[in-house]
Structure 1
Amino acid sequence: MREAKRKDWGREVRSVWVRVPASTANLGPGFDTLGLGLALYNVFRVERNDPGSISPPELPPLVRQVAELFFVQSQTEAFPFQWNCVQQEIPLARGLGSSAAARVAVLAALVKLAGIAWNREQLARWAAQLEGHPDNALPCALGGFVASTSGGARFLRIPLPKHFRVVLFIPSQELSTESARKVLPAAIPLTDAVSNLGRAVVLAGQFFGRKWQLSPDLFEDVWHQPVRTRLLPYWEAIKKAALEAGAQGFWLSGSGPTLAALAMRNTRRVKEAMAEAASRQRVCGQVQVVGPDNSGVRILRVA
């Protein structure tokens, strides 16, 4: 890879505060290819250490992995740094892109600390490479609705309208992406593949055509959701309640366990219906209405 372009920032940057949004992936049939940014945010502070200073605590594996890729790909001399999350709205292990958010934030901060010219698209692709799939990384880095090829090599993005609303049921229980991927079938029937492909293509076309009269059948999936939702006995009850209340679509957010309903109309009614269904199922969690994020990763402050 060509050496990353550097920019004279006028002064050395020592600390960076970065804001990153949550994301919801797949949207039913678009496994590992469709995702959108949500207005829930984590803020990270990343600080450069002097080479001779007292060694900071050892970096977590995720952050160490990000740093290793960044210094190699950008051909930048490695430097010590420390990081911490100073604001957390994205819940961990709930299918809302918390790991993608952390990776994108650290990458953005290292770009700034290294004095490299900002390239949001390259940052998004690095994050997708680290994640192993682009459906959370790209909307987190870029904001809006993103459709991409495997690895994020090619993608299309569109901002979402201000009235776009997603109602989330976020269970108290955690579910790791690794655990949820273990239950996926190694192969699927051709008819199922074609069924999902057709819906994903039309769904993406509706988004890019700004045609918001969406229908629930476009969010149906016959591949990953049927096996993953066996781990979530409340799935059918909450889905039925949301759709009967007027939701335009319903899907498992990423690998779960969060359930998501598109509700640009009847938002309050959908929220109440999902909360009541969860209560009847005696499952603990919170129901939350969130708008879109169209900004992606943002540098809030440098020092």
Structure 2
Amino acid sequence: MYSKLTINIPATTANIGPGFDCLGMALDLWNKITVEKGFSEFTIKGYGENDLPTDKTNLIYQSFILPFLHTKETIPNVKIKCYNQIPIARGLGSSSAAIVGGLLAGNNLLKNPLSNNQLLQLASKQDGHPDNVAATIYGNCQLVIDNKSSLFSSNITVPSKLKAICFIPDNSMSTNQARKLLPKKVNMKDAVHNISRTSLLIKSFITNDLTNLSIATEDKLHQPVRAKLYPQMNDFFKTLLIAGARSVFLSGSGPTIIALADEKIKSITYQIRKTAKSHNINGDIRIVSISEKGAHIKT
């Protein structure tokens, strides 16, 4: 019988420019959850400790019980402690991390009756964003396919030399609010534009050829619309590419902006600060690797 279960869950970035709702990538920035049997108790340290619920309405607990409901097993009383390093409502997959962490904990206590693919189905229904969820579960970059109401994910290896330089503004943004701006119909030329860029992006990653990465992350489906919420976005894109970034894109629905780079990290970081200051935007800069690992039990 376990005494304490520890789960590590990565941050994720979704879309990566053109891959709207189908591409996600895990980042080397982690939340940690510990679970042990005992009287029901829930504590949070780090991001959200003053805002997130600490009762059974918490997203982690709601996800923790799903494997028990799915297998019709008795839900145990547990103490759950969360250590959050992933900023909330910043486009870095904090909700996916909570859901996958809870699911993984519950599934492990049941001795893993559910496969990762089954966890992907459950988590996607809970979160609504399979691109984030897949990257959270599997790590690396994931291409998610919705095949007649069933999801599966295909792994894309990202060049290890790439770093993600994340500018995380202090102001949060609701994913639902950001999605409300999106049109119900898109122009055919814009759709073709994104299909070609997504294909080029995948090729760039798997062939380790970063020459056209800036072109490969261009988007016409969601970022131009979301620029209404982030009028500074295009200025960041322009100045960071000039500073040496291989590509720049909005992380998920924002407000975080990510530059991918394999060199000139200091120059790019300096330019982020300069551009942010020119727009009177406060925020944090994190330089992280792409994580090959997804959520996992610490042994």
Corresponding position: 1:80 with 2:77: yes
Q: Is the 8 A contact 1:169 1:258 kept in 2?
A: yes
Cα distance in 1 between the residues matched to 2:297 and 2:40: 27
- After TM superposition, list the pairs within 5 Å mapping 1:127-276 onto structure 2: 127-150=123-146, 153-276=151-274
TM-aligned CA distance change 1:135 to 1:44, over 3 Å:
same
Q: State the one-letter code of the partner of 2:31.
A: N
Tell me the equivalent position of 2:49: none
Contact 1:133 1:152 in 2 (8 A): no
Tell me how far 1:248 sits from its aligned partner. Answer: 1.2
Does the residue aligned with 1:90 lie in a helix, a strand or coil? coil
Is the partner of 2:184 in helix, strand or coil?
coil
Superposed CA RMSD in Å reads: 2.1
For 2:285 and 2:66, locate their aligned partners in 1 and report how far apart those are by CA, in whole Å: 37
Alpha-carbon deviations, 1:45-69, whole Å to 9, x = none? 12333xxx57876312423542453
Higher mean C-alpha deviation, range 106-115 or range 201-210: 201-210
State the match for 2:105 in structure 1.
Answer: 109
1:23 matched to 2:20? The reply is: no
Query: 2:46: which partner in 1?
Result: none
How far apart, in 2, do the equivalents of 1:54 and 1:244 lie? Answer: 53
Aligned-residue offset at 1:172: 0.1
- Displacement of 1:146 in angstroms is 0.7
Pairing partner for 1:71 from 68, 73, 86: 68
Deviations 1:60-81 (A, max 9, x none): 2423542453223334333233
Counterpart Cα distance in 2 of 1:182 and 1:74: 36
Separation in 2, partners of 1:76, 1:119: 17
Displacement after TM superposition at 1:195 (Å): 1.4
Q: What percentage of aligned pairs have identical amino acids?
A: 33
Q: How many residues align?
A: 286
Q: Distance in 2 between matches of 1:292 and 1:36?
A: 7
Distance in 2 of aligned mates of 1:148 and 1:16: 29
* 71-80 vs 219-228, greater mean Cα deviation: 71-80
How many Å separate the matches in 1 of 2:297 and 2:157? 19
Question: Structure 1: 5+ residue runs without aligned partners?
Answer: 1-11
One-letter amino acid of the counterpart of residue 290, structure 1:
V
**Which residue number in structure 1 is paired with residue 45 of structure 2?**
none
Give CA-to-partner distance per residue, 1:69-119, whole Å, 9 cap, x none: 32233343332334221x322100000000101111111111121222573
Partner of 2:50: none
Counterpart of 2:47 in structure 1 is: none
Scaled by the length of structure 1, what TM-score is found?
Answer: 0.87
Counterpart code for 1:23: T
Deviation of the 1:199 alpha carbon: 1.0
59, 76, 87: which one aligns with 1:91 = 87
Asked if the contact 2:136–2:294 (Cα under 8 Å) also holds between the matched residues in 1, the reply is yes
